[in-house]
Structure 1
Amino acid sequence: MFILKNAGRMGLELYLDLLSQPCRAVYIFAKKNNIPFEFKHVELFKDSILGMKMPAGNNPGHSHEGQHCRGEFGKMNILKKVPALKDGVLTLAESTAILLYLSWKYNTPDHWYPSDTQKRAQVDEYLSWHHTNIRGNAGKALWIKVLIPLFTGQTLPPEKLQEVMDELAISLKQFEEKFLQDKPFIVGSEISLADLMAIVELMQPIGVGCDIFEDRPKLSEWRNQVEEAVGKELFQEAHELILNIKELSNIQIDPQLKEHLAPVLRKMMK
């Protein structure tokens, strides 16, 4: 299902798990722009390779030890993180760097990362703000509703989720007022890397039943426009896993991994 056209010997390889928000951004961008690559499918939870250091708000796209860190991936990427790119001798392990590299190398349409200085600055501004705001808050609902119970066997009280959603609401208000304003997209009339990075994060709470677009007509309209710009079929394909997140409850987690992670996760519960 996830095997794409092989780019050939020493061609572009992308190491991805579509449970991860940044991985989805890279996947959508590459597919939308017809960039040939070999999909190296990393299954973070099934392969028992969830990260050993997880501050609150972190997400399963970051990993530091485990099965995929041995062999091919571990040798290629010492940071032990996905998404990761290998293109000949070049390796990259940060989503923004990967997206920019792909846009430059494959000369993708200008609207993704505009050549206009002011528009490019707007993309850069959003991407700088994104990490500690939208990214810092949107992924927490998944941890609270699915991942912490999966690893600890304990369900968090409803007020913990409400606290997280209140924090996210502040970021969403800033996103609408500062970055969207009355525009179809963050940088005007066309989609950019800023929109792509934002939407994959905001689909994370949707996957666990927290509809952040309800009662936010401006945000909902923006989502619809991003889906149209990307292509609804590709958008749904990329988000299939997160929209069926309950299937994670059937995964058999390595007991040693559970034992190691439980104390860390319980700290997130406080």
Structure 2
Amino acid sequence: VRVLCVYMQQYINPKMSGLKLFFDTFSQPSRAVLILCHAYKIPFEPKLIKIGEMEHQTNEEFAEVCASRTVPAIDDDGFQLFESAAIMKYLVCKHKLPDHWYPADLQQQAKIDEYLHWHHANLRMGITPIMFNKVFLPKKTGQPPNEVIIRTSEKILEKTLKLLESHFLKDTKFINSESISIADLQAVCELTQFWVAGVDPVADKPRLSQWLTDCQKELAPHFDQVHEAVYTARDRGTFKGML
């Protein structure tokens, strides 16, 4: 039994439509949700929230939907939800997407959840502070990077990349699975944040590099479509040399 999905189905009317998706393409978790929506042609009304312009703090419609003021968030005909992992599980269940995205088998599902719960305090905690303090904040304000935060985050990142390789991808092609899942979406979109500065965070890690390539192939052409803003920033050299 798909434990979480059975619970969610109580609140889903398949005849309903009108999904609003609040996102920023420079937001890693936003990209994960966008790729899933594009891959299965899930219709939605795009609601771009430009974090760099502080719209997550000033947009009144967004504030009504998302108490945490974080993207992504959805309003599905009055059903409001934030946090990308929760949103992706909801969409997989509602639209009955292929089982590999969030497996019905309880143990397989638990292994996907294992990564999703680990992700926020580990891989994301390693990457987001580096990008914010070393790239985005200095670019916007001209203030020097916070070296203490950066050094701490770099240690976290190195540790988490090792665990991603040695545990989550130890015996399987994708994260804890032979098939791609929402766990891979979450992870790969986190790592591609470095691309805005023209840096490949797994260039010296063959196993992770192969996994990232496998994810790109599985998600084509939607992966590149959703990463268009990232590629543009990289190609223009907007953040070149800042990492």
Offset, 1:155: 3.0
- The code of the aligned residue for 1:33 comes to Y
Structure 1: segments with no counterpart, 5+ residues:
1-8, 50-62, 251-270
Residue 163 of structure 1: how far off its partner (Å):
5.2
Consecutive unaligned residues of structure 2, counting only runs of 5 or more, are 1-15
Paired residues of 1:13 and 1:37 also in contact (CA < 8 A) = yes
Partner of 1:73: 62
Larger deviation, residues 197-206 vs 105-114:
197-206
Pick the aligned partner of 1:135 from 124, 130, 149.
Answer: 124
For 1:240, give the aligned amino acid: E
**Which residue, out of 19, 22, 29, partners 2:29?**
22
Match of 1:236 in 2: 224
Q: 1:199 aligns with which of 163, 188, 212?
A: 188
In the alignment, what sits opposite 1:89? 78
Q: Which runs of 4+ in 1 moved over 4 A?
A: 157-163, 246-250
Identity %: 37
Structure 1 pair 154/78, CA: closer, same or farther in 2 (3 Å)? closer
Q: Which residue of 2 aligns with 1:12?
A: 19
2:50 maps to 43
Greater shift, 115-124 or 157-166, is seen at: 157-166
Q: Deviations over 1:67-99 (max 9, x none)?
A: x1x2x2223333322111111121111111111
Describe the SS at the equivalent of 2:21.
strand
Q: CA deviation at 1:245?
A: 3.7
CA distance in 2, matches of 1:248, 1:75: 36
Structure 1 residues 218, 249: CA separation in 2 closer, same or farther (over 3 Å shift)? closer
Alpha carbons of 1:244 and 1:142: their partners in 2 closer, same or farther (altered >3 Å)? farther
Look up the SS of the partner of 2:178 in the other structure.
coil
Question: C-alpha offsets along residues 176-221 of structure 1, whole Å, 9 cap, x if unaligned?
Answer: 1110003210132210011110001011123223321111000000
Contact 2:65 2:74 in 1 (8 A): no
Residues 24 and 49 in structure 2, CA contact (< 8 A), matched pair in contact too: yes
Question: After superposition, what is the alpha-carbon deviation per residue over 1:205-262, rounded to whole angstroms, capped at 9, x for unaligned?
Answer: 232233211110000000011111111x311221222334477969xxxxxxxxxxxx
The answer to whether the Cα contact below 8 Å between 1:141 and 1:208 also exists between their aligned partners in 2 is: no
TM-score (normalizing by structure 1): 0.75
**After the TM superposition, which residues 146-185 of structure 1 pair with which residues of structure 2 at under 5 Å, given as runs?**
146-156=135-145, 161=150, 164-185=153-174
For the Cα contact (< 8 Å) 1:141–1:205, is it kept in 2?
no
State the SS of the aligned residue for 1:207: helix
Is the CA contact 2:202–2:209 (under 8 Å) kept in the aligned structure 1?
yes
Contact 1:139 1:205 (8 Å CA) reproduced:
no
Contact kept? 2:122, 2:156, Cα under 8 Å: no
SS in 1 for 2:197: coil
Instruction: Name the amino acid aligned to 1:205.
Output: F
Instruction: Name the structure where helix makes up a greater proportion of residues.
Output: 2
Q: Tell me the TM-score normalised to structure 2 length.
A: 0.83
Does the 8 Å contact 1:195/1:226 carry over to 2?
Answer: yes
